[in-house]
Amino acid sequence: MAKTIDLQKDEILALKKQMESKEEYIRLLQNKEEDEVKDAVDVTVLQAKRFLFVGYINEVLPELRRRFPNSIFMDNESVSISNIKVDAVVMIIKYMSHGMYYKVCSSKVSKEVPIIHCNTKNINTVYSKMLEIL
C-alpha cells in the first residue's frame, strides 16, 4: 500500500513538472517575435563552439547545419541528448514541439549550459542572440 502511494506521489510530481513545462513553453510561444538583425553577424567566434540546436532546423534554418557541422541537431523527440557536451543550447521556439522543449528542460544539459531562446527564424538575429549569451 505504501509503495503504491509513493508511486502515485512520484507520478503526480512528474505530471506537475510537465504541466509547468507546458505553461513555460506556451509563455515563450506567446512572446512577440524578436526584431530582425539586418546586418550580417561574424560567426567565426561561434563556430569554435559546439551547440545543441533544437527545432525543425532543416525546414527553417538549414544554414545552421552547414555553419556548425560539429554541433548536435535535435529535430525530433527521439534524438538522444543524454551525456552530450555542448557550450549552449539554442531553442528555435516557434519551430519546435513541446516534446522537444520538455526533453531538453528535463535533461542534465539544461542545468549545465546556457539556454538561448530564439523567437525568430532570421539567421542574423539567432547569431546575435548566441553571441550575447557567450
pLDDT tens string 7-54: 888 888 887 887 777 777 777 667 676 666 666 778 888 999 999 999
pLDDT for 116? 93
Q: How far is CA 123 from CA 37, 72, 89, in A?
A: 8, 17, 16
- Give the pairing type, strands 72-74 and 51-54: parallel
> Do you know the residue count of the chain?
134
In which residue are the cell numbers 528555435 written?
92
Q: Which helix (H) or strand (E) holds 20?
A: helix 2-30
Q: How far is CA 116 from CA 27, 88, 90, 110, 113, in A?
A: 15, 7, 5, 10, 10
pLDDT class of 70 with cuts at 50, 70, 90: very high
pLDDT for 88? 95
Give yes or no for a contact between 18 and 108, defined as CB atoms under 8 angstroms apart: no
What is the average pLDDT across 91-114?
90
Cα dihedral 93, 98, 100, 103 sign: positive
